[in-house]
Each structure stands twice: as structure tokens, then as C-alpha cells.
Amino acid sequence: MKKMNAAVLGVGQMGATHVQAALESPYIDKVYGFEPDPARCKSRCEELKILPASLESILADPSVGFVSIASPNETHVELAEKCMRAGKAVLMEKPMGCSLGEARHMCEVEKETGAFLQVGFELHYSQMYTRLRQWIDAGLIGTPVNDQCRYYCCEFHKKNTWRSLSTGSFLIGEKLSHYLDLQRWYFDAVPESVYSLSSAKVVPYFHHRDNHQIMTRYPDGRVAVLNFIMYIAESHLARDPLQNGKKEVDDGHFLQFHICGTKGAVEADVFKHRMRRWEFSDTPEYMDSKIVEEITFDPKKDGLLYYHNVLGQNLHVIELAATGKKPEMSAVDALNTMKLCFAAELSEDTGEIIRFDDPRLG
């Protein structure tokens, strides 16, 4: 097997997972890390046991065939374009851009250069969500018509951090894009229109909205709803409870998906650590509903594998790039998710129902 070298641009908290995947991949030889501050670059690379490098040396080195971009959001587009033009395969963290114009530009550069570009929507590789897709694809719930997601969490951003100081569509593009992307994946369709509401802020130091109720209409009368509140659950000081798996029972945290179809329904419940499937049937008196399948998992052992599988995604994407295959999620598909995020933000700004072909979305 011919190996290539890899580089991770941005070796902070998220970058460490990208580094781990590159170190574990059988397709990768050397792993380089980059941070714009040379001293921080050197110290972080020593901690992660990889080689520090400048951006210029990474771009100029033909042996570096794969680049992961895990840097701050506002740097994604510039770095991705430079890497694609240098002939590198690129896996970039979402968001795909801080504006729809930037996201479209990524698609244009990908088309112009013929480069490999995949955006990091790792829930496509997380077993909880892929199981729901398998049930849907097998026809076990008939035609999916109604998608409901409830996500309530605690305020873990903290004061005076880049997360709490971010403005605009921060929570939608940075966080909720994963769950808007899932509804598109489950319906296998492009939205028709979006209507989103946000109540007055409760968290005073946020520079962005702290709640969203996003309603999306899809073709053939299908509907999806995402209900998100950033502050209701009991606080956990050790990072996002979703990512570290630490949560007390019934403390207000929820992350649930329910997809209802014409013949049944499916559920993914992160904090109850289970997936369930219902089957509908006819009786002389009413439509009957019965739970016919349930899968549970150990969050301490397999949590991230089931609901936040960044490592598995990265290992697979590296393999795709190394073996000359195309990305499994195209840049155009990722653009449609970004468009849905910005449509929701525009709806909240204007109070209007936003059609997906609205000229303000470009």
C-alpha cells in the first residue's frame, strides 16, 4: 500500500480528533500540524506527537496528499481553497462558509480544480443515525412524512469565549446544521420553504440567539421541525454533555429524533442511549401502533461511535481519498444544508416564510 502524508490545520480540541484519525489510518505515513502562532504550533504538536509545519511548507509538499481543516470557522474557506489549488484532498469542518457566497465559492473551486472536498457532517457516520436511515431505506416505516427533533441542553459556551461572542447565525450554522442536515438526509429531498422563530434571549452574554424553532416544508407535504433551547438543562462544567457523554438522569437534556412514516416510525434518543422502531397496523377500531424493535448501547463504551463519530468519519474519508474514490457527501449537497441554515436565519430576521428559491438566498 502506497502511503501519503497528512496535515491538520488547527490542532486545538477538535483538531486533536483529526490528528488521532490520521495517526491511526493505514493510509497515512507522517502527520503534520499547523497553527498560525509558531510557539503554540510547536507545543501542541509535541503534545499530539506529530510534526509542526508552516502552512507554506504543507502546501508546497507533494507528499502531503490529505489535509483536515479544524481551524476557526472564519478561516475554513481560505484554507480549503489554498489546499485544493495545491492538489490536496480536503476534509473541512463545518460550517462550509460564514456566508452562502463563501459556501458557493467552495463548490466553484472544487469544480474548477477537480479536488476532493468533503464537509464534516459526521452524523452520517454515527451508528445511531445510520440505523434510522437503514430502517427507512428498508421500507420499514413506509414513506417518511414527518421529522421531529427536540434538542435541549445546558449553556456550556461560557462567557467571553469565541462561542459566546460569535454573532449572526452562529448556533444554526455551527451546531444545528448537523440536525438540519439529517432531516434532509432522511427525506432525501431539497426543502421547499422554511419558517423559523426565536424568542427573546435568556442568556444575556450571548451575542447570538439562544433558541430556535425551525419548521421546514419538503415536497409532497412532508414536514420537519427542529426545536432547540440552549439553556434549560442542568449545567455541566466539563464541556458539552453531548460530546463527553456525562449527564445525570432526567436533568432536562434532550436530543431526540422521531421520523414518522405511513407504516411506522423510528426514534433516536441520545441521552436514553437507544433506537426504537414502531410498526403501524389496521384494526377494526383504530390504527394500532406497536414497538417492534429496540437497540441500546453503553454510552461510556460506545457513545461517540453512536452519536458523534468524528473519528470514524475521518478514517473513512481518508480511505476514500487515498484510494481515489469520490467524497460520499458532495460539496453541492453540503451547500444545500448551508442554504437551509441561512434560510432559517433569514426567516427569523424578517418574520417571513422563506422559499428555498428566494433570490435573497442567491
Q: Specify the pLDDT at position 243.
A: 62
| DSSP per-residue letters across 301-356 | HHHHHHH--HHHHHHHHHHHHHTTPPPSS-HHHHHHHHHHHHHHHHHHHH-S-EET
Cα distances (angstroms) measured from residue 196 to each of 213, 224, 231, 268: 5, 11, 19, 23
Q: Quick check: 241 pLDDT over 80?
A: no
Q: Specify the pLDDT at position 321.
A: 97
**pLDDT tens-digit readout, 129-182:** 999 999 999 999 999 999 999 999 989 888 998 788 887 667 898 889 999 999
Q: Quick check: 238 pLDDT over 60?
A: no
Q: Specify the pLDDT at position 115.
A: 97
C-alpha cell at 119: 464537509
For the chain, what percent of residues have pLDDT higher than 90? 82
Q: Quick check: 247 pLDDT over 70?
A: no
124-310+339-354: CATH topology: Dihydrodipicolinate Reductase; domain 2 (3.30.360)
- Pick from 330, 321, 308: which is nearest to 6 by CA? 321
DSSP, collapsed to helix, strand or coil, labels residue 255 as strand
The pair phi, psi for residue 173, each rounded to 5°, is -75, -35
Q: Specify the pLDDT at position 300.
A: 82
**pLDDT tens-digit readout, 83-119:** 999 999 999 999 898 889 999 999 999 999 999 999 9
Return all residues near 176 (Cβ < 8 A) that are at least 6 apart.
151, 212, 214, 226, 228, 341
Under 8 Å between Cβ of 98 and 90: no
Strand partners, 258: 148, 267
H or E element at residue 43: helix 38-48
Q: Quick check: 254 pLDDT over 60?
A: yes
Q: Where are the domains of the chain?
A: 4-120, 124-310+339-354
Q: Quick check: 29 pLDDT over 80?
A: yes
Pick the CATH number of 4-120 from 3.30.70.890, 3.40.50.720, 3.30.70.20, 3.20.20.150: 3.40.50.720
Say what the pTM is: 0.93
C-alpha cell at 220: 409532497
**pLDDT tens-digit readout, 195-223:** 999 999 999 999 999 999 999 999 999 99
